[in-house]
Structure 1
Amino acid sequence: MLPYLLHVWPGSPCVRTIFSLGAKLSRSSANWLLYTFLFVAYIFLVRPHFLWGSEFLDESVDLFGFILALFGVWIRMVARDWKLEHGSKGLVTIGPYAVVRNPMYVGSLIIGLGLCAIIGDLPFLVLFLTCFAFVHVCSVRSEELFLSQKWQADFSAYRSSVPAWVPSVAAIVGAYRQGAFRFLNLKRSFAKESDSLVATVVGACLLEAHEDYLVEGWSAARVEVLVFVGLAVAFVVFRMVCLNKELRRWLSTG
């Protein structure tokens, strides 16, 4: 479904018009619109429940979703690290960028899929994929237009040899053997992606607390809800206190 949304569906005139308008938004504005809309949709449309009525199965899927979301954060951190290291030297086509052209967006997609697994609602998953395709295809098309104008032949060759979203298994294995997924500067990548890490953990904890409260009730789920809300608050405080501007600047220069 997602390859269709990302490649075929944007060809219709109506969708092209929407994309042209969306491309004028900054990446930050587009993300705020996306996640604000999804948050409102979750509150009003999703009714938390245990998958197939099984608490054990639901908790297992929630754990898988949390791990998947953290994996998405890791992809973003590695991609950001390689871009910071080599971006000033020219078009970045090595490391994770040799696997897909948009590894940071792929990381964001995986984070979203992980959170959708925690939510456990198929219609919401479809809504997320649709909104993600709209917002991020707009951003990617705008960025690739800029790169094609700046790097011309280099970017044309890169685009013809590396997929935008879905990598081949051979490319992943080959890149792994060449060390494409290692951190070049962990402190720097952590400083740059701390917001996505904190937001992912906080979001996952609050989703789990919300589900437990609505499904089990306060008396039965009080301990779990307090633990998850406490973890969310702890990560927010960590972000506000420990990752202040001075520390982030020090991490970035390490």
Structure 2
Amino acid sequence: MRNVVRLMVISSAAPPRAAEVSDGFGRMPPVASKPWQQLKPTRRESALQARLKRPTIKAMPVYVCAILALGWALWFAPFLRKWNQRAAKKSDSRSRWGMLLEFIAYALLWMRHSWSYHPALWRIFVSVALFAVGALLSWAATNALGIHLRFEAAISDGHKLIRTGPYALVRHPIYASMLAVLLATGIVVTPWRLFVVALVVFLIGTEIRVQTEDNLLANHFGSEFSEYRKSVPAYIPLVR
């Protein structure tokens, strides 16, 4: 009888404490004693779970980065030569607004995780071809301009109307090369919607520069430039 009473006292005592396990943060939270009882995660645990669920961003392949760097370098290299910094006979500062819009268009290309894209193979081939066209035009145009190479639209003393080399194909081959570089870059690093926005901004800026330069050349060369303007497109072949 005494043993039975002792057994009843032991069974009616408080239940044993739940086993404790480490949560990885140096603390030992109690495990629920009932299967239907759920323990709420701590704030630190919730942050860790959210970080683990976050998708990882893969970097662009190295060879694509190399193509972009080499393409830009080859295009930009001929502009490192000495520019004509003498006082201009006539100039138009409105071309700077067009230049600003072109720079904004280039900046738009690199937004929205540009370095995480893995472009398709056909895009890479198109990009290489466009970079080659842009570099060829920039080298040929700067060589043809010679001492007339300037940063903004201007007419110098002894200015000549260049109509040889790439200027026989388009009136503004440097702008054509800039368009080729923009297309070569955007096709591999920029989402289509943002690419279209950047292209529109670039074309608006380029049209401003074309109009200001054409007006200066028309006032200076008269009928000679008018004839040239009628026979040669501005910067996109077959588009006058």
- Normalising to structure 2: TM-score of the pair? 0.49
Which is richer in helix?
1
- Normalising to structure 1: TM-score of the pair? 0.47
